[in-house]
Amino acid sequence: MDKKTILKIANLAKIEIDDSKANEIKTNLEKILNLVDEMNQVDTDNIEPMSHPLNLKQYLRDDEVTENNKRDLFQENNKNTADGYYKVPKIID
Amino acid sequence: MEYKTLTEIKEAIHSKKLSSCEITKYYLEKIKKYNNKINAFITILENQALDKAKKIDDEIVKGNIKNLSGIPIAQKDIFCTKGIKTTCGSKMLENFISPYDATVIEKLENAGTIMLGKTNMDEFAMGSSNETSHFGDVKNPWNTNYVPGGSSGGSAACVAAGMSPCSTGTDTGGSIRQPASLTGICGIKPTYGRVSRYGMIAFASSLDQAGVFTRTAEDCAMLLNEISGYDSKDSTSSNEPVPNYLEECRKKFKPVKIGLPKEFLDGLEDSVRKIFDDAVLILEKSGCRIKEISLKTSKLGVSAYQVVAPAECSSNLSRFDGVRFGHRAKDVSTIDELYKKSRSEGFGNEVKRRILVGTYALSAGYYDAYYIKAQKIRNVISQEFREAFDEVDLIIGPTTPDSAFKIGEKLDDPIAMYLSDVFTVSTNLAGLPAISIPMGLKNELPIGLQIIGNHFDESKILSLSHHYQQITDWHSMMPNMETL
Amino acid sequence: MTYQAVIGLEIHVQLKTKSKIFSGASTSFGNEPNTQACAVDLGLPGVLPVLNKEAVMMAVKFGLAVNAQIQNNSIFARKNYFYPDLPKGYQISQFEIPIVSKGSLKIRVGDDFKEIRITRAHLEEDAGKSIHDMFNNDSAIDLNRAGTPLIEIVSEPDMTSANEAVEYLRTIHTLVKYLDICDGNMQEGSFRCDANISLKKSTDTKLGIRAEIKNINSFKFVEQAINYEIERQSEILDSGGEVVQETRLYDPAKNQTRSMRSKEEANDYRYFPDPDLLPVYIDDQDIKSIKSTMPELPEEKRIRFMRDYSLSEYDTSVLISDKNLSSYFESVIKSKKLEPKNVANWILTDLLGLANKNRTAINELPITPDRLEQLLIFVHDGIISNKQGKAVLEKMWDTSKTPKEIIDSEGISQESNENEINKLVDKVLENHYKSVEEYMKGKDKLFGFFIGEVMKESKGKANPKIVNKILRERLKK
């Protein structure tokens, strides 16, 4: 894992990495990946990946409106709103 | 005060020997006295608790008494509580007041419990020692130089220290069972899907389960009765009918066939091995047959877990971006800056580390080697458990490889920290229920016995645990809080 | 150098469910910002998605309508990226196993039909809206739309011109309205399209590098954007350059496409199955019962109309383009008293003309099919003339009076009595005896003049057919 990869990953995850900390992070991540590599001890070629521990099917909800307007409650502690909108620094597309 | 267990408290309240106000005041006093040393609570709800206690007492006078009326409880700060701060142990949610109640909270409130406060925890449930909380470390009441375990460290410590008769926790890789083991109390993680996850701040969605800490297995059963059941707001919750766990565990004990995976004895320290062997002997004397089995792949559980959990959490934590709620960085001029600064300021190091690992494991080129591989290992582990349960009713082993470690001892070595979960993670990967009950002391520090059951076999687990607690006394031991 | 354009479209169709795909908030359009974004839509800590049954049904209906395979078990996946109108930091979509795969439909290209293959259609949630020109230094985020169900329909790159692309778009647009799964309102954003365009030389087997043009919301803009893009890429290739694989936005004001700054870095979406949702299971029995609730599809209707009513291609196309219009038409001709072709004319010319003038939608016409039928029967029977009929139709638009009531109250009638008309013809031929002589000598076009004069004499009330008949008899050479 090189520094460039770490910075790319950090950017995808929107986390700042201090240049001074980058090496420490790299070392830690490598250790974890070594631990993870132990999985290769087992041959899993004919095994299906398992996403859920139980064999359940998705419940389907009836198409009904069950929620009403709670905007005031949700925006109660948020100073970064105006006229009901959430505000973020302007984005130029 | 002679009441320690929920069973005792409930009996006293029903027979009017004790009022909700009295018992609530009792525990609030304990919290006042000890929390400074233990740091188990992030938020203490004194006024609110007393108000509710009064209401409950009024209702009881009118003849309205519910299953858990008057029982005080501490709630892990991972459960959203309406109108009350819900921090998840993080600076990111330091001032977040949830606009709604988690289903678990709703159920317990409706059953008549009295919330004493929100307990401290590893940040976003990521940790095994409660050393990553933004609100400071939690100390083990048995020896405050030692960790209580994590991530539900606060919930475990407050019950162990007698500050609350019970508490809720969550378990993703062992976060209920491991602290229960290290603090000498009972902690149960139900089958995945047994308890609703709605309102429980998500760490790893396919592994997380809500559970409880109590002094006895019977008490676990009592609480499990109330929190279990299908919730239409949680697509992953199960329709499996909920038995009366309390009734089931109190039934006459029927000896069971118990599997002992040889992998769970690997490299166990001698004194721990001795404590465990004693426990096994007691089970054998009760008529249970102990059979050696093998769970070959369980050791790889940690590796698989260290991919699946971070992968899911890296995605689950993307919603913390400073826009709609939570910590928002000041003085930012672009949206990118807003995200990066808010998240970097709001998250601690362990959380950041796991987000990075998870993002990496899901990224193009690595997805198959890491994420898919881990999900395949998960399948293999589940398969091994399935085969084991064809031969035995329950599986046992020590919950943790050792008793509590010193604060700071493993903080710089994440791998060592992760390996302390080696006996617990595979049950999360397979979605199986498991309990940890106290089985002894090593150098004055507790250690727990883990009992794992097949899917939805909580009754069997509780029955064996209850029986064990009728012929042993480990669950009654408490640290000497006066010497802290 | 002329290149071959290779075009594929990704169409986002908003499903007209009452509530959102994963929450019970309302999907209705145009309300105050963030009043329809509940806890689940906002991505608050601890919330979980629960799937809307109707969204699944609608997706299956679409799949059946394009003869696609319906997956018995489909999986929702998370598409991870950061954008303020995406509250969870990921969009719940479908990746490896979509609910609908491999279908096709036919589009008209000139006089022919061309098959366009559909790679897949999957369910996903819509994002909210970002408005960049509301505040000075900030962008405004409205999450009302977040969580609205979408199906994304991906075509194979089978189209080779802007025309074909527009035709495909129109065909899908009509289809989803027919199936009643989408209101097709492009201005409100219920039907949006991204176009992928690349060029290649006719001798190339490999496809060229493609550019993606995002979020085009009108048929006209699709055509213009694609044509602009084809030219832009041609110029690049002609000058020896390479097309950059990128995402571009169409600017209708300048009729140009330009690079999207925010999408410049290639995004790794890190798709993985959403652990909060379980596989969506639909068995063959369910699919069968959904099939039985489906309406007649546009193609089937087209074939039937042309066969049973002998209508022209063009007339059929217009009638079937709107399910309301075709059922209106069929109501009028139901009693079989009128000739379908004739009725079609009246509807397409006169009725639609009035609808356009008054800006009335087809499902809100004030003239009911049976009132129109009554009027047309009067014209057919000769009680009033065509021209008079048109005038009555106009009056019918504004009142609920029956045609008979209007005809009676205004004394509109047509003179069909042959004796009476004979008298008028006598008068005209007498007054214009010189012209009659000229006609008899061979000036045939005077016939029209005589008709006109008789009509004038009758103040427009003479039945033109009878006038014609009588004049022919009288002017027999």
- The DSSP code sequence of C309-337 is H---HHHHHHHHTSHHHHHHHHHHHTTS-
Check CB contact under 8 Å for C25 and A65: yes
User: C189 and C335: one domain?
Assistant: no
User: Please, which pLDDT band fits residue C265 given cuts at 50, 70 and 90?
Assistant: low
Structural domain for A18, as ranges: 3-41
Residue B367 to residue C42, Cβ atoms within 8 A? no
Same domain, C59 and C165: yes
- Measure Cα distances from C145 to B233, C19, C276 in Å: 21, 11, 21
* B85 Cβ under 8 Å from any chain A Cβ: no
Looking at the partner chain, which of A47, A78, A88 has a beta carbon nearest the beta carbon of B379? A47
Query: Looking at the complex, does the CB of residue B286 fall below 8 Å from at least one CB of chain C?
Result: no
Q: Is C48 within 8 Å of B324 when comparing Cβ atoms?
A: no
Mean pLDDT of B109-125: 98
Chain B residues with CB under 8 Å of A53 CB are 192-193, 206, 382, 429-432, 455
Q: Establish if B376 touches chain C: CB-CB under 8 angstroms.
A: no
Note the pLDDT of residue C262.
52
For residue A47, what is the nearest residue in chain B, using CA coordinates?
A: B376
pLDDT tens digits for range B434-450: 999 999 999 999 999 99
Q: What is the pLDDT of residues B8-48, one digit of tens each?
A: 999 999 999 999 999 999 999 999 999 999 999 999 999 99
Contact partners for chain B, using 3 or more CB pairs closer than 8 A, are A, C
What pLDDT score was predicted for residue C459? 81
**Residue C266 predicted with pLDDT over 80:** no
Q: What is the largest CA-CA distance in chain C?
A: 98
Say if residues A41 and B67 touch (Cβ distance below 8 Å).
no
Which B positions 311-330 lie with beta carbon below 8 A of chain C? 311-312, 315, 317-321, 323-325
Among candidates A56, A65, A70 on the partner chain, residue whose Cβ is nearest the Cβ of C18: A65
Contact present, B437 and B468 (Cβ < 8 Å): yes
Helices (H), B228-348: 245-250, 270-285, 301-316, 335-346
How much is the ipTM here? 0.96
Does the beta-carbon distance from A84 to C51 stay under 8 Å?
no
Nearest Cβ partner for B306 among A35, A53, A88: A35
* Distance separating alpha carbons of residues B302 and B475, to the nearest angstrom: 29
Instruction: Report the topology of domain B6-257+435-483.
Output: Amidase signature (AS) enzymes (3.90.1300)
CA–CA min distance C45, chain B (Å): 5
- Give the chain C residue whose CA is nearest to the CA of A72: C35
Angle between helix B20-38 and B6-14 (nearest 10): 150
Give the nearest partner residue to A14 out of B232, B340, B418, using CB atoms: B340
Q: Are C160 and C254 within one domain?
A: yes
pLDDT of residue C458: 85
Query: Does C394 share its domain with C440?
Result: no
* pLDDT digit string, tens, across residues B385-422: 999 999 999 999 999 999 999 999 988 887 888 887 88
pLDDT in tens, B227-256: 999 999 999 999 999 999 999 999 999 999
Nearest to B233 among C43, C45, C50 (CB): C50
Contact status of B102 with chain C (Cβ, < 8 Å): yes
pLDDT band at B1 (very low <50, low <70, confident <90, very high): low
Contacts of A73 in chain C (CB under 8 A): none
Other CB atoms within a 10 A radius of the CB of residue B239 amount to 9
Q: Could you say which of A63, A66, A85 has the minimum Cβ distance to residue C141?
A: A85
Identify which of B400, B438, B440, B447 has the alpha carbon closest to the alpha carbon of residue B420. Answer: B400
* Predicted confidence (pLDDT) at residue B465 exceeds the cutoff of 60: yes
| B253 interfaces chain C, CB cutoff of 8 Å | no
Give the model confidence (pLDDT) of B285-343 as tens digits.
999 999 999 999 998 999 999 999 999 999 999 999 999 999 999 999 999 999 999 99
CATH of the domain at C455: 1.10.10.410
Contact B318 C87 (CB under 8 A): no
Strand C138-142 and strand A85-89: the pairing is antiparallel
Contacts of C35 in chain A (CB under 8 A): 69, 71, 84
Please list the active-site residues of B.
76, 151, 175
Residues C39 and C157 in one domain: yes
The pLDDT assigned to C416 comes to 77
Helix (H) or strand (E) holding C118: strand C112-125
Total beta-carbon pairs less than 8 A apart between chain B and chain C:
99
Cβ distance of C46 and B102 shorter than 8 Å: yes
Give the pLDDT of residue B384. 97
Task: Residue window 118-147, chain C: list those with CB within 8 Å of chain A.
Answer: 130-132, 134-135, 137-143
Residue C399 confidence class, pLDDT cut points 50, 70, 90? confident
Longest alpha-carbon distance in chain A: 58
Interchain proximity A12–C130, CB inside 8 Å: no
Residue at token pair 């043009």: C213
What residue ranges do the domains of chain B occupy?
Answer: 6-257+435-483
Flag whether pLDDT at C354 surpasses 60: yes
Within an 8 Å CB–CB cutoff, is residue B362 touching chain A?
Answer: no
For testing the chain C interface, which of B98, B104, B197, B318 should be mutated: the one with the most C CBs within 10 Å?
A: B318
Phi/psi of residue A37, nearest 5 degrees: -60, -20
C339 and C269 both lie in a single domain: no
pLDDT surpasses 60 at C263: no
Beta-strand relationship, B72-76 and B114-119: parallel
**C345 shares a domain with C369:** yes
Instruction: Determine what percent of chain C is predicted with pLDDT higher than 90.
Output: 64
Quick check: B325 contacting A, CB < 8 Å? Answer: yes
pLDDT band at B196 (very low <50, low <70, confident <90, very high): very high
Task: Tell me: do C365 and C382 sit in the same domain.
Answer: yes
Interface A-C: count of C-beta contacts within 8 A: 126
- pLDDT tens digit sequence for C423-442: 888 999 899 989 888 988 88
Q: Shortest Cα distance from C102 to chain A (angstroms)?
A: 24
Q: Would you tell me how many other CB atoms lie within 10 Å of the CB of residue B61?
A: 11
Q: Which residues of C touch B324 (CB under 8 A)?
A: 42-44, 87
- The model's pTM is 0.91
The structural domain count of chain A equals 1
> Domain of C185?
4-289
Listed in order, strand segments (DSSP E) in C344-439 are none
Give the chains touching C; criterion: ≥3 Cβ pairs < 8 Å.
A, B
- Chain A residues whose beta carbon lies within 8 Å of the beta carbon of residue B431: 52-54
Chain A interface includes B194 (CB < 8 A): no
pLDDT (tens digit, 9 = 90+) per residue, C125-138? Answer: 999 999 999 999 99
Which residues is B114 bridged to in the sheet?
B72
On the question of a cis peptide bond just before residue C458, with omega within 30 degrees of 0, the verdict is no
> What total of structural domains would you count in chain C?
3
Using alpha carbons, select from C19, C32, C109 the residue that is nearest to residue C58: C19
Of C135, C141, C278, the CB nearest to A58: C278
C146 touches chain B (CB under 8 A): no
